[in-house]
Amino acid sequence: MINFIPIFPLELVVYPGEELNLHIFEPRYKELITECFAEAKPFGIPTVLGDRVAETGTMVEITEIVQVYDDGRMDIKTKGTKVFQVLEMIEEIPDKLYSGAIVSYPNNDTHAKPFLSFKILDSVYILHRLLNVTKKFTKKVAEMLSYDMAHHAGLSIKEEYELLCLLQEDQRLEYLRRHLEKVIPVIEGMEQLKERIAINGSFKKITGYNLN
């Protein structure tokens, strides 16, 4: 399926199923949100990487307009629905302030893989303990997807985007596994370093090495 969508490029990655709160203040996006909400139609959020709009993004639907301010600014709630790929950017639309794109929707495997998800989630919790972060997931482990864990695994925006571009759930989980396998030992090493620095200058009880 190929169609035209209004777009709201942002320097972040949105995943299918993700709930995202936005504060809308630019005139072009106030127009976009007003029209999309009135017509009950979704819009696309392609990721901005560096100084360019990337080719992959996520469709989102507006679930609630929480508040409209006197000057037209808005607080809204949205939810990601599906991944899209940009075929052509339409920078100027007649009589519109916002831009758009011609997009397609690739087949995307979003079937849960409970056994793999449990192992990844366990590593995420280990990372959080090391960082003194508390995060409670509301989904049951059997229903957890890579998308539910990705923002909580310490990925950079570039890495989050790379994961978005993977269209098989087992590939996304493997991406998270490799990332966590790499980053957790680094964080553990930093914690040990902090402990060594903290005890520097204190009285140390160390058993001497026996040369005999």
pLDDT score for 16: 97
pLDDT tens column, 65-93: 999 999 999 999 999 999 999 999 999 99
State the span(s) of the chain assigned CATH 2.30.130.40. Answer: 2-104
Tell me the C-alpha distance between 207 and 92, whole Å. 74
Instruction: Please give the model's pTM, rounded to 2 decimal places.
Output: 0.87
Architecture of the 2-104 domain: Roll (2.30)
Q: Is 122 exposed, middle or buried (0-12, 13-18, 19+ CB in 10 A)?
A: exposed
Tell me the C-alpha distance between 167 and 77, whole Å. 26
Tell me the C-alpha distance between 131 and 143, whole Å. 26
Tell me the C-alpha distance between 145 and 116, whole Å. 10
What is the chain's mean pLDDT, rounded? Answer: 90
Q: Is the pLDDT of residue 4 over 90?
A: yes
pLDDT tens column, 19-69: 999 999 999 999 999 999 999 999 999 999 988 999 999 999 999 999 999
